[in-house]
Amino acid sequence: MATYNFSAGPAVLPHEVLQQAREELLDWHGSGMSVMEMSHRGKEFMSIAAAAESDLRSLLAIPANYKVLFLQGGAHLQFAMIPLNLLRGKSSADYVNTGEWSKKAIAEAKKFSSVNIVASGADKNFINVPMFDTWQRDPNAAYLHYTSNETIGGVEFNWVPETGEIPLVADMSSNILSRQIDISKYGLIYAGAQKNIGPAGLCIVIVREDLIGHVSPGTPTMLDYKIHADNDSMYNTPPTYGIYVAGLVFQWLKRNGGLAQMEQINISKANLLYQAIDVSNGFYNCPVVKSDRSRMNVPFTLKDASLDGEFLKQADTHGLLQLKGHRSVGGMRASIYNAMPLEGVQTLVDFITHFAKQYG
Ligand SMILES: *Cc1c(COP(=O)(O)O)cnc(C)c1O
């Protein structure tokens, strides 16, 4: 039986990529070594890392004046590295609060900076993105930070804030590479790899060059973007296997039509699933307002929460895995990242429709 993995992260990888990794596991391209056994400074791994970077650059059309960094510490470490590097002598930064991940970024930034919350979805229980014309921005902010997709709440920006001269910073951990974006609108983008890129342990940072090199005094060396940029992300040992698998994913995306094609498939998948939820006559509910619903993470509840256990049990027997919602919100969550095929979403839709008929 085919299985489909709806985990929020670490998450599904393209089947073809896993097969290729398996084929290359013991002996990468006749080198006599596994990628896991290679020196990060040897010519083999240097070529793997260079290809990964150049494929990512072409997928996202990253302009030449941006650095691509392969780091560790996850998105969580970026919550601290961003203020440490981007304050540049200023005392305050703007943050948009759209849910759980925004809150974590804000809490960490407060250790290093004053934080101006320009807008918050809290008063509506985080079911929408606050409208741009209500944002109360600080004209002297060092940067503006937002979470382009709230992985837990299922709220996604379908537009890009226009911040003019103030560098725009985005946590794209759960929607990077899911759609086309204009990198030149951003000062910095970061994403933990384990949602929509590859295995856990790698965090990708794309940062405009002029924002590098202004780290706050006393910052540890490892938290300075400049150190990593000057050393091509090899100041210390990078997460080599994660970079390799991410590189295979980038090649898979390129073979399959790049981000334009991926975006169309992601729209189809999301429409299919939300449609099934919305026509269930309240058996299922997604609280997020329609215009701000995530294409990647679809949270939904059952009207009768006492059926949650039965739902999950039956889903499992249908090969539909890891649908349990985040512990903070309960219910269900289907994460439908790039690597989730349309058939997986169709199988889920068939299952939830049948379950609702059975128990509704
Ligand atoms: C998962 C996630 C994080 C945390 O990532 P780690 O790699 O565990 O630090 C941060 N932001 C968003 C939007 C996420 O989805």
Q: For atom 4 of ligand 1, which residue has the closest CA?
A: 75
Cα–ligand 1 centroid distance for 74 (angstroms): 7
pLDDT tens digits along 52-77 = 999 999 999 999 999 999 999 999 99
**Three-state DSSP state, 357:** helix
CA of 335 to the centre of ligand 1 (A): 14
CA of 30 to the centre of ligand 1 (A): 36
Q: 191: pLDDT confidence band, cut at 50, 70 and 90?
A: very high
Ligand 1 neighbours (beta carbon < 6 A): 9, 74-76, 101, 147, 151, 171, 173-174, 192, 195
Minimal-distance CA residue to ligand 1 atom 13: 173
Instruction: Report the candidate in 111, 179, 153 with the shortest Cα–Cα distance to residue 292.
Output: 153
8 Å CB contact between 94 and 116: yes
| pLDDT 10s digits, 330-347 | 899 999 999 999 999 999
pLDDT score recorded for residue 175: 98
Question: What atom of ligand 1 comes closest to residue 149's alpha carbon?
Answer: 13
Report which protein residue has its CA nearest ligand 1's atom 1: 173
Give the pLDDT band of residue 329 (cuts 50, 70, 90).
confident
15-255 and 258-359 share one fold: no
The mean predicted confidence, pLDDT, of the chain is 97
- On the question of pLDDT at 147 being above 90, the answer is yes
Out of 108, 126, 151, mutate this one to test ligand 1's pocket (max ligand atoms within 8 Å of CB): namely 151
Using most ligand atoms within 8 A of CB, pick from 7, 71, 76 the residue to mutate for ligand 1: 76
Residue 252 Cα to ligand 1 midpoint, Å, equals 23
Instruction: Give the pLDDT score at 330.
Output: 87
| CATH-assigned architecture of domain 258-359 | Alpha-Beta Complex (3.90)
> Residue of the nearest CA to atom 14 in ligand 1?
173
pLDDT at 141 over 90: yes
Q: In CATH, what is the architecture of 15-255?
A: 3-Layer(aba) Sandwich (3.40)
DSSP annotation of 190 reads E
Report the nearest atom of ligand 1 relative to the CA of 78. 9
Tell me the pLDDT band of 327, cut-offs 50, 70 and 90.
Answer: confident
Q: Is 36 helix (H, G, I), strand (E, B) or coil?
A: helix
Q: Contacts for 105-111 with beta carbons within 8 Å, 24 or more apart?
A: 105/79, 105/145, 105/147, 105/171, 107/79, 108/76, 108/79, 108/80, 108/83, 109/79, 109/80, 109/82, 109/83, 109/145, 111/80, 111/83
How far is the C-alpha of 155 from the C-alpha of 143, rounded, in Å? 22
Query: What pLDDT sits at residue 1?
Result: 83
What pLDDT does 98 receive? 98
How would residue 308 be classed by pLDDT, with cut points 50, 70 and 90? very high
Q: How far is the CA of 103 from the centre of ligand 1 (A)?
A: 12
CA-proximal residue: ligand 1, atom 12 (nearest):
173
> Of the residues 97, 174, 296, which should be mutated to test ligand 1's pocket, given the most ligand atoms within 8 Å of the CB?
174
Bridge partners of 168?
Answer: 144
Give Cα 287 to chain centroid, integer Å.
21
Q: Where are the domains of the chain?
A: 15-255, 258-359
How many whole angstroms from 312 Cα to the centroid of ligand 1? 24
What are residue 95's DSSP bridge partners? 117, 145
Could you read off the pLDDT of 220-279 as tens digits, one per residue?
999 999 999 999 999 999 999 999 999 999 999 999 999 999 999 999 999 999 999 999
Q: Would you name the residues annotated as active-site residues?
A: 101, 171, 195
